[in-house]
Amino acid sequence: MGVNAAVLAIDAGNSKTDVAVVAGDGTVLGAARGGGFQPSRAGVEAAVDVLAEAAEQALKSAGVTTSTHVSACLANADLPVEEKQLEEAIRHRGWARSVDVRNDTFAVLRAGLLEDAEPRGVAVVCGAGINCAGMLPDGRTARFPAIGRISGDWGGGRGLAEEAMWHAARAEDGRGEATALVSALLGHFGLPSMYALIEALHLGHIAAERQHELTPILFATAAHGDTVARSLVDRMADEVVAMSTVALSRLGLLAEEVPVVLGGSVLAARHPQLDSRIRTLLGQRAPQAAVRVVAERPVLGSVLLGLDALGAEPQAHARARAHYETSVRHLVRS
């Protein structure tokens, strides 16, 4: 093959894994997509097996068997101890001489930073769950456990779906405020009552994984003016702003001109109510912050972090970014 594979970049989320093999000059040599990454459910080795399937497919498509460095940004690597466990497990696969594992929030942050900018800013990811991380050029970070309700988290796609069900159930039986979420959810699943929907989910007649379909319904119902749905969207915005401003404060950046990068399926969708409230509240609490939404696939951030680790030239970063920006433009046209 004549081109060295410098970086094996991995971005693994709850529902899918993206892998890219990249040369030292930023050229993407190969890529693959795999299944979701959930070590807390499957165990570390079984979860890394999912990464292995996509990684080995990407290496094969690039015509190589190893790379110089693995840059892995992984969902559910929420605690430093989990990052170390996963780093060791990946190291044993022999894909590269060096391995760096981080939470996937850092991939979104790196993708949202300009090429000539210092690694300085905060990112909030809102996909199935919610997480936030910030970093400074000297390596200091601000982060949250982001394990769920036991660590104080609220929201994300999964959380919003649960809230939509909760409010609709209470609206139907009289415990809660009336909401158009009832008819919206029932119409989507073609069922006559919330009782029937609850029963279908509880007994597995509707797969639990389909609950993610409720989140877009919630946003659509809010857009039509439903008070309950709108209150949930507002609360989601409040959570994003709370996490980002706390991280900015911890890093001494609250009054600084600094990027706040938003990513994940919920935030990347740019729902008008959610997006507007986030920008308004951040403008009040961190007036110098510049909000950026990452539209590119988060694996770009893993690629850029890998190139950073190898001391690649700025042109390499620009070439890799151009590859993924072109992919986004093609997707929009199609």
Per-residue pLDDT, averaged over 3-26, amounts to 92
Q: Which tops the pLDDT comparison, 57 or 114?
A: 57
pLDDT on residue 118: 76
**What is the average pLDDT score of the chain?**
93
Q: What percent of the chain has pLDDT over 90?
A: 86
Q: 């410098």: which residue's tokens?
A: 6
CA atoms within 13 A on the CB side of 154: 13
**What pLDDT sits at residue 334?**
31
**Sheet of 290-293, strand order:** 141-143, 130-135, 121-126, 259-263, 290-293
- Among 183-187, 220-224, 323-327, the range scoring the smallest mean pLDDT is 323-327
Q: CA 40 to CA 268: how far, in whole Å?
A: 26
pLDDT for residue 20: 97
pTM score of the predicted model = 0.89
Between the alpha carbon of residue 86 and those of residues 16, 40, 93, 101, 141, the distances in Å are: 17, 11, 11, 7, 19
CA dihedral 85, 87, 92, 98 (to 10 degrees): -150
Confidence of residue 328 (pLDDT cuts 50, 70, 90): very low
Residue 138: in which H helix or E strand, if any? none
Can you spell out the DSSP letters for 160-220? HHHHHHHHHHHHHHTSS---THHHHHHHHHT-S-HHHHHHHHHTTSS-GGGGGGHHHHHHH
Q: CA separation (Å) from 31 to 10, 19, 213?
A: 10, 5, 28
Q: Which of 111, 104, 214 is nearest to 166 (CA)?
A: 214
Neighbours of 269 (CB within 10 A): 14
Find the radius of gyration of the CA atoms of the chain.
Answer: 21
Cα dihedral across residues 287, 304, 313, 90: positive or negative: positive
Q: What is the pLDDT of residues 110-155, one digit of tens each?
A: 999 876 667 899 999 998 899 999 999 898 999 999 989 999 999 9
- Is residue 295 very low, low, confident or very high in pLDDT (cuts 50, 70, 90)? confident
Most confident of 72-86, 106-120, 145-159, 225-239: 225-239
Mean per-residue pLDDT for 11-20? 92
Distance CA 107, CA 96 (A): 19
What's the pLDDT band for 330 if we cut at 50, 70, 90? very low
Is pLDDT above 80 for 332?
Answer: no
Q: What pLDDT score does 269 carry?
A: 93
Distance CA 137, CA 116 (A): 13
CA distance linking residue 242 with residue 74, whole number of Å:
23
Query: Would the CA dihedral through 139, 141, 146, 150 be positive or negative?
Result: positive
Q: What is the pLDDT of residues 237-276, one digit of tens each?
A: 999 999 999 999 999 999 999 999 999 999 999 999 999 9
Check residue 331 and give its pLDDT.
Answer: 36
Cα 55 to Cα 304: distance, rounded to the nearest angstrom = 17
Residue 280 has pLDDT above 90, yes or no: yes
Res. 14 pLDDT band, cuts 50 70 90: confident
pLDDT tens for each residue of 16-39: 999 999 999 999 999 999 999 989
Residue 333 scores a pLDDT above 60: no
